Structure 1
């Protein structure tokens, strides 16, 4: 019975983290009058984890992946005039190479997702960089929101009692 209660408590904690992410992202969107909310929210909830043992490392790895993927696709976007699929393909190769060189291969799949999200962002205006940079900002902001929530829920705030919202109750 106690184990079941702990699981309910863990699931409730995970739900609260997701609701906190939605609330924070929505507040930012309202405050900054930002319209591209979906990638910020997706990034925030992808960083969150119900398991305290993996929460912070997962958040850090998602942020690393998004930085690698974002930088790679932005560099490849300098090759103007090439078809978008070719640019994204070049960014895939570059992102995998960077992950390998920086010993970040475990985050390479997430880096490729970032390349795809940013690389296929529609650019209706004349400025090549506007939409991709907005997407980078959106994804990175979402990851930082997720990391903030992770730290508050799993490491506690200095001076406050630490909470255990963890599906894995082993120490």
Structure 2
């Protein structure tokens, strides 16, 4: 069975996910960060297996995640009931995604709401919500970095090979 561009995209996606996971875990261990779970989850939600529109899709997902994160924080602080706060954040986030033309990234944004809003019982709401916003932002940044590194290199190599500079001599 011949290797297609689809197979290459899937392989590249696997490598990006594993490299991102290992890098985040390594940074977490090096700096004694106790929990990098939300950073990993946010990074994985931002990455895309499709290389055709990967950079615009990644940036759209990052914008939607950040919008959702800030909406979540506002709702959690303004609405005393967490369940109600999350429901309101879901509605406002979907409306914001629609208004900002970010609907293609609404699903990862909804996951960001849960990441930011839910916290263990007895944990201080302010610190947890703000730590989770930072985790979502860090995961988004890591996803964007991986996208640029892997896909800029890929496009650069394709241009060189396509121009005959790196082809068979």
Q: TM-score range by the shorter chain?
A: 0.7 to 0.9
Query: Does structure 2 retain, via aligned residues, the 8 Å contact 1:29–1:37?
Result: yes
Distance in structure 1 (CA, Å) of the matches to 2:105 and 2:99: 12
Write the mapping of 1:98-113 to structure 2, written as runs, cut at 5 A. Answer: 98-113=96-111
TM-score w.r.t. length of structure 2: 0.79
Query: Please, which runs of 5 or more residues in structure 2 have no aligned partner?
Result: 160-169
Q: Which runs of 5+ in 1 are unaligned?
A: 165-171
* Contact 2:72-2:116 within 8 A present in 1 as well: yes
Partners in 2 of 1:66 and 1:122 — Cα distance? 22
Q: How many residues align?
A: 159
Q: Quickly say closer, same or farther: Cα 1:68–1:87, change in 2 above 3 A.
A: same
Provide TM-score, normalisation by structure 1. Answer: 0.79
Name 2:81's counterpart in structure 1. Answer: 83
| Corresponding residue number in structure 2 for 1:168 | none
Please name the residue that 2:63 is paired with: 64
Of 152, 157, 163, 1:155 maps to 152
Is 1:97 aligned to residue 102 of structure 2?
A: no
Residue 25 of structure 1 and its aligned partner are, at CA, apart by: 0.5
2:164 equivalent in structure 1: none
Q: Determine the C-alpha separation between the residues in 2 that align with 1:109 and 1:14.
A: 19
Q: 1:32 aligns to what?
A: 31
Q: In angstroms, what is the RMSD of aligned CA positions? A: 2.5
